A and B are shown apart, each in its own frame.
Chain A
Amino acid sequence: MTTKRVTLLILAIIVIASPFFFPSNYYYRVGSLIFVNGLAVTGMVILIGYAGQISLGHAGFAGIGGYACALAPVHLGLHPGLAAILGAAISGALAWAVGRPVLRLKGYYLAVATLGLGILVSMVLANEAWLTRGPDGIEVPDLGLNDLLEAVGIDLSNSQFWYFFSGLVLVIGAWVALNLYDSPTGRALRALHGSEIAARTVGIDVARLKLQAFVISAIYASLSGSLLALQNKFITPDVAGFMHSIEMVTMAVLGGVGSVLGAFFGATILTTLPQVLTVFQEYEQILLGLVMMLCMIFMREGLLPSILRALRGKDK
């Protein structure tokens, strides 16, 4: 089997089989958060893992996706599902507009430019209170899909519905990303990651490729923001904040940014960690910081690749 099929199969098994081990409904909530984060992180795999670019501002796109679901149904009369697609379109358009100049920058300069971009978005969301109702957040209408399922006899609790729905979206998102990886664009992106100059000499349009990766990853982040807003039925500008951007990058890199499965693993670890660490109460932050540092120091390619290598031994 190809890596693509294996990855999709593993993800699908995780989504379907995990509930058999859930002691309570609360685990559906954590599970759906993992899938929502996993979707954003799949976008980071395309940006960081395939194209080799950094962004410290992708939460801005998640904010756009989330607020689209809060605002478009009220002001434009759109169905919340369509609002999520509108949000993705706006995010993609914004990424396309600013991507060209921003992506000319490298390393830390790229980091600060994307950081500024994310902060600008979160500032607009927090300050334009006439539209967004300000920093305290705004209600998001119900997607209505769960009621529809109920009407055809599938009775799921709210947490259960969002668990399976987010899981489905994640698997689709992973499928798209994996197809991209195998496509000519994907191969060109990987060439670019290896060496920008080498890629240019073999005639690859470097600027256009980077821009494509940036736009696609922005759409992933936007959809993840929409999913979060819809399942919480409430959203605040925090979703676009700096710490959320950092979280996305950290999840991807921690798990292993080279592959969709690695990044998903990172999303799982960082989403469950704060839930597990609650038993340590005031030591929670110390431990979170430690985990981030230790993983990056000792497992540079990320957790999943390091673990796999350890399992395989050194014969590879």
Chain B
Amino acid sequence: MKTLTALATLAALGLAGTAGAEIRIGATVSETGPAAFLGDPEAKTLKMMVEKLNAAGGINGEQIALTLYDDGGDPNKARTFATRLVEDDEVVAIIGGTTTGASMSIIPVAEDAEIPFISLAGAIEIIDPVKEWVFKTPHTDRMACQKIFEDMQAQGISKIGMISGTDGFGASMRAQCLEVVGDYGIEVLADESYGPTDADMTPQLTNIKNTAGVQAVLNPGFGQGPSVVTRNFRQLAIDLPLYQSHGVASKGFIDLAGPEAAEGVRLPGTALLVGDLLADDDPQKPVVTAYVEEYQAAYGEAPSTFGGYAHDAFAILVDALTRAGSAEPEAIRDAIEQTAGLAGTTGVVTMTPEDHLGFDLSAFRMLEIKDGAWTLVQ
């Protein structure tokens, strides 16, 4: 029966497609596959926001038509869907590329076709060097490293151990961290890794524990790995500060790791997680609270940081479309580049021709888990 509904919706979409006055935007995210728990909230967020915008009358009187594909996190599929969005669906902008690999595969398509592309993936090479048609919303993993090292420096920590996931997220952040760690006078004494589906990391953590001089441990990773690391960390009674990455910055992490094991874990996160703790004059507060409420109402669960990335991408695009007053890719691109002071869930975005991310380290908040809840480190 659900199939019938799907078919009916499809037919309706087909009819709507002939109606004309509408702005076509495209998205390809990994709703399924290994990065599904990133891509799923992204897709849900986009659907929710498009619906809301259209119900409110669209942009300058025109409705938004969103074409959304699931690339399963496969870069080759992402490229095919990007081609399809550009050539067949004739969209004027693309949001997507949940993983860095997928984003990097979409970039040549967007650049060739001269269609603006807002990426939802972390790696710095997406926007550095700057590419004319490519923007992104999440902090770079390098920024996450810098934020963490700043905090370590403030704590007087100068020798650390690292344990990273071998998936794209973990490996990329590990590489970035190793690159900037020297700037903070911090030395990495132990450098271990684990597979994304591993059940036990005690051998690696034992090696870190037995490395003389380690003052803190950093775990770049996402998915189930970090919660296993956190539990194993307590199991081995390692009496050192544990830093996680923004890859686990979502409500679920505390439940997955267990509130006891997660106690005292620090990580750089977005305003999204601590909306109610923000100062009332914080420009991000109203944005974050509204998004969390809407998402909760629509899907009965709290949104994750990753959903927030999609929220920001869509907000930037809508803002640009409104200002551009035209749905020509070129005009949209120029308008995105002129985004100024737009408060999103990740930060307050101000783009320039040299900066296609639009915010700096201060957009990250250092969070600590206390009594099973996120708190802001002052």
Contact = CB atoms under 8 A, between A and B. Distances in A.
A–B interface present (Cβ within 8 A): yes
Given A126-B171, A283-B3, A228 B76 contact: yes
B233 to A, nearest CB: 23
A129 B175 contact: yes
Contacts of B88: 23-24, 26-27
Interface stretch (A110-118, A171-179, A230-238, A253-261): A230-238
Report whether over half of chain A's contact residues are helix, strand or loop; otherwise say mixed. Answer: helix
A278 B70 contact: yes
A152 interface: no
A127 B174 CA distance: 12
Contact of A158 (B10, B100, B112, B167): B112
B69 interface: yes
B33 to A, nearest CB: 9
Given A232-B105, A280-B3, A126 B166 contact: yes
Interface in B56-112: 69-70, 74-77, 79-80, 83-84, 86-88, 99-101, 104-105, 107-108, 112
Contacts of A283: 2-3, 6
A136 B100 contact: yes
Nearest to B71: A274
Interface string A155-190: 000110000000000000000000000000000000
Contacts of A274: 77
Given A136-B101, A233-B108, A129 B70 contact: no
Contacts of A284: 32, 70
Nearest to B168: A135
A63 to B, nearest CB: 12
Contacts of B101: 135-137, 236, 238
B74 A232 contact: no
B83 A26 contact: yes
Nearest to B196: A135
Contact of B104 (A24, A136, A159, A275): A136
B123 interface: yes
B119 interface: no
A134 B86 CA distance: 29
B104 A239 contact: no
B172 interface: yes
B111 to A, nearest CB: 10
Contact of B83 (A23, A129, A159, A281): A159
Contacts of A159: 83, 87
Contacts of A25: 83, 87
A33 B83 CA distance: 12
A228 to B, nearest CB: 7
A242 to B, nearest CB: 12
A135 B87 contact: no
Interface size class of B (residues with CB under 8 A): 20 to 34
A285 B100 CA distance: 23
Nearest to A137: B101
Contact of A134 (B74, B79, B171): B171
Contacts of A29: 80, 83-84, 87
Nearest to A36: B76
B127 to A, nearest CB: 14
Given A29-B84, A126-B166, A134 B104 contact: no
Interface string B1-43: 0110010001000000000000000000001100000000000
Nearest to A25: B87
Considering residues A135, A279, A283, which has the most beta carbons from chain B within 10 angstroms of its beta carbon? A135
A285 B31 CA distance: 11
Given A127-B166, A279-B10, A234 B104 contact: yes
Contacts of A234: 75, 79, 104-105, 107-108
A236 B112 CA distance: 20
Nearest to A282: B31
Contacts of A280: 3, 6
A209 interface: no
Interface in A193-210: none
Contact of A238 (B2, B75, B100): B75
Interface string A2-24: 00000000000000000000011
A78 interface: no
Contact of A232 (B79, B86, B112, B167): B79
A30 interface: yes
Interface of A: 23-27, 29-30, 33, 126-127, 129, 134-137, 139, 158-159, 228, 232-234, 236, 238-239, 274-275, 278-285
Closest 4 CB pairs of A and B: A26-B87, A135-B168, A26-B88, A25-B87
Given A134-B168, A278-B70, 4 more contacts: A25-B83, A137-B75, A283-B6, A284-B32
Interface of B: 2-3, 6, 10, 31-32, 69-70, 74-77, 79-80, 83-84, 86-88, 99-101, 104-105, 107-108, 112, 123, 166-168, 171-172, 175
